[in-house]
Structure formats: C-alpha cells, structure tokens
Chain A
Amino acid sequence: MLGNVNSKNTLLETILTLNNLTKHYGKVKAVNDLSFTIEKGNVYGILGPNGSGKSTTLGMVLNVVNATSGNFKWFDGTDTTHNALKKVGAIIERPNFYPYMTAAQNLELVCTIKDVDPSKIEEKLEIVHLLDRKDSKFSTFSLGMKQRLAIASALLNDPEILILDEPTNGLDPQGIHQIREIIKNIASGGTTILLASHLLDEVEKVCSHVVIIRKGVKLYAGPVDELNASHGFFELRCERQTELIQVLERHQDFASVKEENGLVTAFLKNPLTAEELNTLLFTQGIVLSHLVKRKESLEEQFLQLTANLN
C-alpha cells in the first residue's frame, strides 16, 4: 500500500506552503483556513468528497482562483507565483488544449510558455503512449488520450511537483488503469506528486501522505499510516472458537473482539505482531486455521474520520 514512499530525499525541502488559505464564494465557504505543507519526494493525496474544496484549493495555488484571505508560497517564496509555476506541472479537472492544433503543436506552445526546450516533446509523448498520434489534431482525441496528453504537457518541464486533479474522472476502466500506471511510474522516479481525488482506492494505491478536507475544512494532514492511531486488527479462525475469544479478551493488547460468520476479528490497542500472537495461542493449545493481520483500509479510516464530525 505504501510502495511508493520515496525515501531518497533525506533533506526536507518544502515545495508548497499554505497558510490559512480561505476562499468564499458569497456565503459559501469553499475553503476555510486551510494550512498544510508539501515536502519534496512524497506523494500526497488530497481527499475529500465532491465539492469539498479540493479544486478550489488547487485553483488558488495555481493562480487561477483569487484567495479571499490567507496566503501560500511556492518553494522558498522568493519567486513570483507565475514564475514558480514554470517549475510545476499541473492538470486540472479536464484537459484544456487548442482543439485545432495537433498534439505536438500544443506541446510546443506549452514549451514556449514555460520557457523550456521543445526537444523533450517526443520523449514525453512516448511516456504517455501518444507518440504515434503526435500529428493528430487534439479535437480528434478520446477523453483518455486528452488526459494523457495533459500529463505529457505537465511533464514537459521535468517539474519539481506534479499536480493532478481527478486525473481518472470520466475515464473507462482501461483508461483509468493506464493513467494509474503512468502516475506510479512517475512517482517511482522520485517526482513529488499532489493528487486530488474523491476515489479512495486511487489515493491509497499511490500516496504516502494525505490531506483530508471536508466542506473546506482540513480534517487531517500527514502520513497515510498515521491517519488512524489504531494498530490494525487480526482476522482469525480455528476449531476452538470460544476458547480463542476468551484468550483474546483477557489479553491486554486487544481493545475489542467480535465474531462474525465463524471469523473472529480482534482489534489491537497496542502493537503486536502476527508471529507473537501465533506463538502465544499455540502455547495455549489453540491451533489457528486462518491468521491475517490487517490495517484498516483508507476508506474505513476516511469514513470514521468524516463520520466523527457528523
């Protein structure tokens, strides 16, 4: 689940800092007092239900939405936002290109805007498997191809950070799979990624850190595995079930035990490895036929976190 944590960068380098960023649309508080930091080398997910302020937040740091109050700074804050954005690659909501230009022509324009050499165009088109369509007009592309072209465009400047806002929205399963593979490859190369999504498994599959927002308010920001203080749970099955439950309930490391369809689920309150538990039970004469240690999925954690506020 955390296969893409990048530990190459021991030195913490801040890429983006948000300080009490707030956006009101009339009475609606789209984003409220949001603060968090993005550090180099991590893969971040911004999680939140639809309309929770993800895109507005990204819009503000990307210079297209004016903040009501608060501020943000890119890198060390010495450069203007639009210059900093030349070191950023971003795609938002849906791909926006000139429909009458070909893929390569569109990318060339982006190169001129970003002040980078156009020699990388073919290389980036190759990454997103669009090289054979480089001379086709953008208007002839399918949504999946448009989205991939947007990723190629965002990569042109070899960005310090890649921002993706709902990159798989509206795609078919094949398209979703392609995009995720591309993102994973980019992440494994050490590029910092900020991925906004309402799809939890998407974030779970690629992110090491999450920022969870709901109705414009930050609920959590930090590593995915510290999201919930719990130490996970065991799923157990054996012949002598009643004895097993008794043993577990007496053990100081377990918070609760429940049984469902012959499967015993025991929630930990202190760390305990599967080996330790197995040894312990074996010495007590309980032989397990099924032993799995699991962590709550991000979805379960997310639902717990958002439910707490209701």
Chain B
Amino acid sequence: MLRLLTIEFYKLKHSRSSKVLSIAYFVILSFIALIASIEFNLGDFQIRIADQGIFNFPFIWHFNTWVAATLKFFLAIVIVSMISNEYSNRTLKQNLIDGLSKKEFMLSKFYTVIAFAALSTLFIFVMTLILGYSFSDYTEFSIVTREMEFLLAYFFKLVGFFSFCLFLGVLVKRSAFALGFLFVWWIFENISYGILRWQINAETADAIVQFFPLEAMKNLINLPFQRLNFIETAANQLQADIQIDYAVHWYEVGIVSVWIFLFIYGAYRLLMKRDL
C-alpha cells in the first residue's frame, strides 16, 4: 500500500499544475479563518461575523466542514487530471508493462483519493479547533467534542466526490470532458428532482433523489445557515417554518459508501475490460 502511494505521490510531486492546485486548495481552506475578521455596518450596528455564533462549538464543526466542502472542486481537478494524464501520455500502458497490475494502478489512485480526503479532514479538524478555541463562547470539553461526526461526514463526502471524479476520469479519459460530464450529471440530478417533485410530490422526490450520488453527498452535510441564532430568530419572527434535519445519519453515510464502492469497482472493471 505504501509502495502504491509512493508511486502516485511521485507522479503528483513532479507535476507543477497538480502541485499548484493542491497548495492553492489548502491555502484557500485556511482562508475560512478570515471570515472571523469580516465586519460590516448595518445602520448603527456594527456586525462582526465572528460574534454571530458561527464559531461556537459545536456548531463550528458543521459550519467549517460545509464551507470547506464547497472548495473540493480544486482537488477534483487534480484527481481527474491524474487519471486523464495517464491516458493522454499513454503512461498507463507503460506502467502496466513495467509490472504494475491494473488493480494496483486503480488502488494507487484510490489510496491517493483517501489520502487527500484524510489530509483535508485533518486540516479542517486542526483549523476548527484553533478557530473554535479563539472565538467560541463555550470551550468545555464535552461541548467541543459534540457533533464531531461532521468530520466523518466531511471525509466521506470528499472520498465520495473524488471517487466519482476518478470514475469519470477513467470513463471519458479526458479531464475537460470528465469535469463537463460531472456538471451535466449535476444538472441531470436537479432536473430529475424537479420533474419528480412536479409529477408526484416533494416527499417522494426527496426520498428518491437522496439515492443519487451528488445528492447523497450533499445530504451528508446540510446547509448550516438555518441553524444560526439570528436567522432562527428572524425566521421565528416571520413565522416561517424552517425545520431542517441537519444531523448526519448513518444511512446517509451508508448510501455514499455504496457509491464509493460502485465508482471504484466500476472504474476497475472498465480498466480491466479495455485494451490499451
């Protein structure tokens, strides 16, 4: 396993574009901390974002993982190009001739996906602790450790998304087309939801669409803003009902895990079936 990871990281290490994108990703991740310094004036009130409770434990786990997850596209480009480059340089063929099996090749890519997701999760974990302990109103250990399942959800969300990218990379062999396909798929999921909702009803539509890969990944970490105190208060005043189930459920993790398996196994089968 370590050998396979070494091989893949050696390939990435020397590729300037992958390196720049990966570094840019982690730099931008750390910019989440800058949200703390955002201040703006609303009439006579001076509002400081950091004081609005977004950095309070345990909510900060939810908030940070959600914000960080939106940045996953940076790494998605790295993942897709790390497959498509092997095709366009025909180095996949050479790797196999040199004695790498197709299974090892696939595993080296999958391990890299896991490594990226784990690294990102660790990064968010450390950053959240730092931000939380700096700005949170509550720093008791029992509160700090509550809702840490969002980290697990974040990890699965990344692995799932990157596995999807990996599969698309193997399927269409070209990075631009793979990312395009991803976008088309996202539109497809939304249109399907729209049609289902229009033809049947919202509950059934939700029930079906939650099994779609992108929707399943989205459901792992729901939009966190409704949980903010001032929004809840505002909603109550407007008597709007925004009861949203934001918790991480085991079945959500389950659905994404099944997709991860399908994507990786599917990519492996494709690779096995193809002549190079």
Instruction: Please list the residues of chain A having a beta carbon within 8 angstroms of any beta carbon in chain B.
Output: 59, 62-66, 80-83, 85-86, 88, 90, 92, 94, 96-101, 105, 108-110, 112-115, 153
Taking the closest CB of chain A, its distance from the CB of B100, in whole angstroms, is: 5
Contact A98 B97 (CB under 8 A): no
CB distance from B193 to the nearest CB of A (A): 40
User: CB distance B7 to A112 under 8 Å?
Assistant: yes
Q: Which residues of B contact A108 (CB under 8 A)?
A: 10
Find out whether the CB atom of B99 lies under 8 angstroms from the CB atom of A113.
Answer: yes
Q: Do residues B99 and A98 form an inter-chain contact, with CB atoms below 8 A?
A: no
Shortest beta-carbon distance, B247 to chain A, in Å? 44
Q: Take A64-B96, A90-B97 as given contacts and tell me if A98 and B89 are in contact as well, using a CB distance cutoff of 8 Å.
A: yes
Chain B residues in 8 Å Cβ range of A92: 93-94, 97
Please tell me if the beta carbons of A86 and B99 are within 8 angstroms of each other in the complex: yes
Q: Is B91 within 8 A of A82, CB to CB?
A: no
Interface residues in B82-132 by Cβ distance below 8 A to A read 85, 89-91, 93-102, 104
**A109 in contact with B10 given A64-B93, A97-B89, A98-B89 (CB within 8 Å):** yes
Stretch at the interface among B11-19, B33-41, B237-245: B11-19
Contact B14 A105 (CB under 8 A): yes
B: interface residue count bin = 20 to 34
B145 contacts the other chain (Cβ, under 8 Å)? Answer: no
**Closest chain A residue to B3 by CB distance?**
A112
> Does the CB pair A82–B100 fall under 8 Å?
yes
A59 touching B275 by the CB < 8 A rule? yes
Per the bound structure, the CA–CA distance linking A54 and B149 in Å amounts to: 57
CB distance from B8 to the nearest CB of A (A): 10
Q: Min CB distance, A242 to chain B, in Å?
A: 62
Encode contact with A along B7-49: 1 for CB under 8 Å, 0 otherwise: 1001100111000000000000000000000000000000000
A96 to B97, CA, bound (A): 11
Q: Does B276 contact A (CB under 8 A)?
A: yes
Cβ of B93 to closest chain A Cβ, rounded Å: 5
Quick one: which of A66, A81, A101 contacts B14, CB cutoff 8 A? Answer: A101
- Distance, CA A80 to CA B7, complexed state (A): 20
Nearest chain B CB to A33 CB, angstrom units: 19
| Residue positions of B touching A, CB distance < 8 A | 3, 6-7, 10-11, 14-16, 85, 89-91, 93-102, 104, 272-273, 275-276
Question: Which residues in B have their C-beta under 8 angstroms from that of A96?
Answer: 89-91, 93-94
Across the interface, which residues of B come within 8 angstroms of A113, CB to CB? 7, 95, 98-100
In addition to A82-B104, A86-B98, A92-B93, 13 A-B residue pairs with Cβ atoms within 8 Å of each other are A63-B96, A64-B93, A66-B275, A80-B101, A83-B99, A85-B98, A96-B91, A97-B89, A98-B14, A98-B91, A99-B89, A105-B14, A112-B3
Q: Which of A63, A90, A153 has the most CB of B within 10 A?
A: A63
* Cross-interface CB contact of B6 among A85, A112, A153, cutoff 8 Å: A112
For B104, give the chain A residue with the smallest CB separation: A82
Question: Which residue in chain A gives the minimum CB-CB distance to B98?
Answer: A113
A66 pairs with B273, CB closer than 8 A: yes
Residues of A within 8 A of B6 (CB): 112
Assembly CA distance A23 to B94 (angstroms): 21
Residue of B nearest to A85 (CB): B99
* Nearest neighbor of B15 in chain A, beta-carbon distance: A100
Find chain B residues with CB under 8 A from A80 CB: 101
Contact flag A114-B14 (CB < 8 Å), given A96-B90, A96-B93, A97-B89 = no
Shortest distance from the beta carbon of B105 to any chain A beta carbon, whole Å: 10
Alpha-carbon distance A101/B7, docked complex (angstroms)? 14
Contact across chains for A114 and B97 when beta carbons are under 8 A apart: no
Instruction: Report Cα–Cα, A256/B266, bound state, in Å.
Output: 66
Closest CB pairs A-B (n = 10)? A86-B99, A82-B101, A96-B94, A85-B99, A96-B90, A64-B276, A65-B275, A113-B98, A101-B14, A62-B97
- Complex alpha-carbon distance, A65 and B3, angstroms: 25
Show 10 residue pairs from A and B whose CB-CB distance is below 8 angstroms, ordered by the A residue: A66-B272, A82-B99, A83-B99, A92-B97, A96-B89, A96-B90, A96-B94, A98-B15, A109-B7, A115-B3
B11 contacts which chain A residues (CB < 8 A)? 98, 109
Q: Which of the listed residues B10, B85, B94, B101 has the most CB atoms from chain A within 10 Å of its own CB?
A: B94
